[in-house]
């Protein structure tokens, strides 16, 4: 039993006993007991009244002086009040800190209610979108009317991000990404990527220009090397040096060609011209080239129906599939089996290039399509690759509306799946 309740019970007992014995002596025991009870009730009501007045004033100041159960209640409320004030102070400090943090961010943050009306934003969002205080409560699609954004913000689950021109400065490019939180509210993050895109464009132009400029001197060097190699008086050591020089020039030319190709793919913002491509005919020509490259060291098979067509740009898809098949030849030892299989589905076609060679460490798979990335194992620069092949493959397949899936384990071969849209008229 709590101390306050214990004190209150003893108080009631003492009041009752005192009233009873006083009344007994006076000859009015019942009347005096009722009078004692009435006095106790009046005192209790007075205490409760004082306590409620203190509560109504927001529990400010010192609680009323009392003891027993009502004193314990007032002490408990006073402790809760102090605890609540400490919690409020912590919340104020936390809110102030979070607000300061969001204000310090270069990225704009926009909070939308579930009905897509604007609830809150930081100063960066106000600067990037030209927001004013009167915009609070307005629908965000009335502020950003771009159809791509309207479609994006109405998604049930947000995937990726979108890039849009600023509504106040058309030359400024913004990246917007959204995510849901709380009671189905939306946090919209706005990033100014104008400088990044500008630098990326400069890099692409630089790489493309340098690659073009390298072609002429490399062609001249190769011509002179071939001429010097044909001189009859060359000693064997000189011919060996010329042979190594010729190999390195060939590799530099291949690198320049691949850089020019990937720069063209990245810079080409126009939609590719898709046409119905006969898959079997395309793969047969690639198979013929792969067998010539292998020189009989690998077993290459093709499993494809004759009448399968897909929607693609012939040059892009030929480059992509050729890169994968030729890599399988170059990077696997003699005796490896390479299988090309086509599976036809209702909406897409899977072209699977599978081998039973050295395989790839699964840790490296996410980075295989990066420029110049080379894994360990036997897939290294000794095979003569430029490190750009799979980057070109990814760009080419993406341009055709498809995607590249890679599965592999070390020692268990590799599987490359090119999933591409199919011609609806194909069988």
The CATH number of whichever domain residue 157 belongs to comes to: 3.30.450.20
- CATH number, domain of 398, equals 3.30.565.10
Is residue 260 located within the same domain as residue 342? no
Residue 212 in domain? yes
Q: Which two tokens stand for residue 50?
A: 């004082």
CA distance 324 to 354: 10
Looking at the structure, tell me whether residues 373 and 251 fall in a common domain: no
Strands (E), 59-100: none
Which of 267, 294, 309 is where one domain is finished? 267
Q: Which has the minimum average pLDDT: 168-182, 253-267, 392-406? A: 253-267
What pLDDT sits at residue 392?
A: 80
Q: Is pLDDT at 189 greater than 50 in this prediction? A: yes
pLDDT of residue 375: 60
List residues bridging with 183 in a β-sheet: none
Give the C-alpha distances (Å, rounded to integers) separating 332 from 84, 326, 328, 341: 70, 10, 6, 18
**What mean pLDDT comes out for the span 60-86?**
76
Higher pLDDT: 94 or 3? It is: 94
- Looking only at the bridges linking them, the beta strands covering 403-408 and 337-344 are unpaired
Query: pLDDT confidence of 340, banded at 50, 70, 90?
Result: very high
What's residue 1's pLDDT?
58
Residue 212 pLDDT > 60:
yes
In terms of domains, do 156 and 252 share one?
no
Domain identity same for 174 and 287: no
In this predicted structure, the answer to whether residue 253 has a pLDDT above a threshold of 60 is yes
pLDDT value of position 6: 63
251 with 343, same domain? no
Cα-to-chain-centroid distance, residue 331: 32
What is the pLDDT averaged over residues 374-397?
64
Does some domain include residue 426? no
Of the residues 192, 221, 250, which one is the last residue of a structural domain?
Answer: 192
pLDDT at residue 266 tops 70: no
Which of the listed residues 100, 121, 149 is the one where a domain comes to its end?
100
DSSP state, residue 63: P
Is residue 319 situated within a structural domain? yes
Same domain, residue pair 279 and 359: yes
Contact 23, 32 (CB under 8 A): yes
The number of domains in the chain is 4
Q: Which two tokens stand for residue 173?
A: 């490019």
Q: Which domain holds residue 257?
A: 196-267
Residue 87 lies in a domain: yes
* 273, 313 contact by CB (below 8 A): yes
Predicted pLDDT of residue 176: 92
Domain contains 154: yes
Residues 177 and 226 in one domain: no
pLDDT band at 126 (very low <50, low <70, confident <90, very high): confident
pLDDT in tens, 277-330: 888 888 999 999 999 988 889 999 998 877 787 777 777 788 888 889 988 898
Residues 402 and 302 in one domain: yes
CA distance 121 to 108: 7
Return the number of other C-beta atoms located less than 10 Å from residue 72's C-beta. Answer: 18
* Nearest alpha carbon to residue 398 among 343, 320, 283, 324: 320
Residue 427 lies in a domain: no
Please indicate, yes or no, whether residues 404 and 284 belong to a single structural domain of this protein. Answer: yes
Asked whether residue 332 is domain-assigned, the answer is: yes
CA pair distance 202, 198, nearest whole angstrom: 6
Q: How confident is the model over 12-29, as a mean pLDDT?
A: 75
Other beta carbons within 10 Å of 265 = 18
Radius of gyration of the chain (CA): 40
Q: Report the CATH number at residue 227.
A: 1.10.287
Q: How confident is the model at residue 427 (pLDDT cuts 50, 70, 90)?
A: very low
Q: Are residues 186 and 220 in the same domain?
A: no
Q: Are residues 309 and 349 in the same domain?
A: yes
CA 45 – CA 56 distance, rounded (Å): 16
Query: Which of 109-113, 219-223, 388-392 is modeled with the greatest confidence?
Result: 109-113
Say whether both 286 and 417 belong to one domain: yes
> For 411, phi and psi rounded to 5 degrees?
80, 0
The reported pTM is: 0.51
CA angle 264, 268, 272 (to 5 degrees): 110
Residue 379 confidence (pLDDT) = 45
pLDDT at 377 over 70: no
**Contact of 188 with 113, CB cutoff 8 Å:** no
Contact predicate 376/361, CB 8 Å: yes
The Cα–Cα gap between 148 and 151 comes to 5
> CA 251 to CA 171: how far, in whole Å?
40
Domain assignment present for 404: yes
Dist. CA 334–CA 317, nearest whole Å: 27
Angle at 140 between CA 137 and CA 156, to 5 degrees: 110
Q: CA–CA separation, 277 vs 310, rounded Å?
A: 5
Q: Is 349 in contact with 423 (CB distance < 8 Å)? A: no
């Amino acid at each position: 039993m709590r101390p306050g309740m214990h004190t209150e019970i003893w108080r009631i007992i003492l009041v009752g006993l005192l009233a009873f014995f006083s009344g007994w002596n006076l000859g009015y025991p019942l009347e005096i007991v009722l009078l004692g009870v009435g006095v106790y009730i009046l005192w209790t009501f007075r205490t409760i009244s004082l306590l409620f007045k203190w509560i109504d004033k927001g529990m400010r100041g010192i609680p009323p002086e009392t003891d027993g159960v009502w004193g314990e209640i007032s002490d408990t409320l006073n402790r809760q009040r102090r605890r609540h004030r400490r919690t409020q102070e912590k919340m104020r400090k936390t809110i102030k800190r979070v607000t300061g943090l969001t204000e310090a961010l270069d990225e704009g943050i926009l909070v939308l209610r579930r009905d897509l009306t604007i609830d809150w934003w930081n100063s960066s969002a106000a600067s990037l979108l030209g927001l004013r205080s009167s915009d609070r409560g307005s629908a965000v699609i009335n502020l950003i009317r771009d159809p791509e954004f309207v479609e994006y913000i109405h998604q049930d689950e947000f995937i990726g991000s979108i890039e849009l021109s600023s509504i106040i400065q058309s030359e400024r490019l913004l990246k917007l990404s959204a995510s849901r939180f709380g009671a189905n509210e939306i946090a919209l993050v706005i990033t100014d990527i104008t400088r990044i895109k500008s630098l990326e464009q400069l890099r692409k132009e630089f790489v493309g220009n340098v690659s073009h400029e390298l072609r002429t001197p490399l062609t001249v060097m190769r011509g002179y090397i071939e001429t010097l190699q044909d001189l009859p008086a060359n000693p064997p050591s000189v011919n060996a040096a010329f042979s190594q020089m010729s190999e390195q020039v060939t590799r530099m030319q291949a690198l320049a060609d691949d850089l020019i190709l990937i720069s063209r793919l990245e810079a080409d913002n126009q939609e590719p011209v898709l046409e119905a491509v006969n898959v079997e005919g395309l793969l047969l020509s690639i198979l013929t080239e792969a067998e010539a490259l292998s020189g009989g060291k690998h077993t290459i098979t093709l499993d494809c129906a004759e009448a399968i067509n897909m929607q693609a740009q012939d040059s892009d898809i030929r480059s992509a599939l050729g890169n994968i098949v030729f890599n399988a030849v170059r990077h696997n030892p003699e005796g490896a089996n390479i299988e090309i299989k086509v599976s036809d589905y209702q909406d897409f076609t899977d072209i699977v290039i599978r081998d039973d060679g050295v395989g790839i460490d699964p840790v490296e798979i996410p980075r295989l399509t990066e420029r110049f990335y080379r894994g360990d194992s036997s897939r290294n620069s000794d095979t003569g690759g430029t490190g750009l092949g799979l980057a070109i493959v990814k760009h080419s397949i993406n341009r055709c509306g498809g995607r590249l899936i890679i599965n592999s384990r070390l020692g268990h071969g590799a599987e490359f799946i090119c999933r591409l849209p199919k011609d609806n008229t194909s069988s």
